Amino acid sequence: MAHNLNIDEKTGKANMAYVGEMPWHKQGTYLGEKEAMAEDMIIAAGMNWEVSTHPIYSGVAELKEISEYKTIIREDTGDVLSVVKNRYIPLQNKDAFAILDPFLPETKAVWHTAGVLGKGERLWVLAKLPGSIQVTKDDIIDKYFLLTSSHDGSSSIQLRFTPIRVVCQNTLQMALLGEGSSIMKVKHTINQGSKIKEAIKVLGLVENATKEFEVTAKEMY
């Protein structure tokens, strides 16, 4: 499927939640017109599960642990999401929301969309910022703050401003194009916690990124 949303095998529903307008793929769980609580979005987006790390063994007569690598396993389904280097530390789904929680009241942003891609290899959470950018009289652009992460080692934890409403794999890829809107990238290592806390201190950069985008958009017009 082009959207690549994770589908719950029991219900057949896509693990994605949204506020406001229905996405183009008509998938996901609707949570109202204006705002939703983080706890409700985690459940509605099918993100209320964790991953765990497990050692890898090889051998014929005798099994030996391959100490340089480990597997990331989705606990609710048992799916092996990746084989990563031993220093890789996964970011649990609920912690993706916890990162942005302190930021939302300060900026009056609200949770807007969230979802899981593939078998759970990748996820995103999107908050809608107040106000909009008026490029021309008939060209009004909404503002969003995006956090995306992975459980397969394919990407770092990324925080960025985007004018794109992320609802699937395609829109996520579009939102990640270019470096101009990037606020911070954090590798999945033992130091990720302290680096993310540092990111919260500099989230004022979101407003700077918004202004830069507005100037660029008007210049292009």
pLDDT tens figures, 11-66: 899 999 999 999 999 999 999 988 888 899 999 999 999 999 999 998 877 888 88
**Higher-pLDDT residue of 70, 179:** 70
CB count within 10 Å of CB 108 equals 10
**Higher-pLDDT residue of 190, 143:** 143
Residue carrying the six token digits 């909404």: 142
Lowest model confidence (mean pLDDT) among 16-25, 82-91, 153-162, 183-192: 183-192
92 DSSP assignment: P
Lowest model confidence (mean pLDDT) among 8-17, 50-59, 79-88, 205-214: 205-214
pLDDT band at 157 (very low <50, low <70, confident <90, very high): confident
Task: Name the 3-class secondary structure at 205.
Answer: helix
**Higher-pLDDT residue of 69, 217:** 69
Q: How far apart are CA 107 and CA 18, in angstroms?
A: 20
Hey, what's the torsion of the CAs at 26, 4, 42, 52, to 10 degrees? Answer: 160
Beta-ladder partners of 139? 136
Q: How far apart are CA 20 and CA 30, in angstroms?
A: 8
Rounded to 5°, the CA angle 19-192-185 comes to 60
34 DSSP assignment: S
Q: What is the pTM of this model?
A: 0.83
Q: How far apart are CA 150 and CA 135, in angstroms?
A: 34
Residues for the chain: how many in total?
Answer: 221
Q: How far apart are CA 214 and CA 135, in angstroms?
A: 7
CA 72 from chain center: how many Å?
18
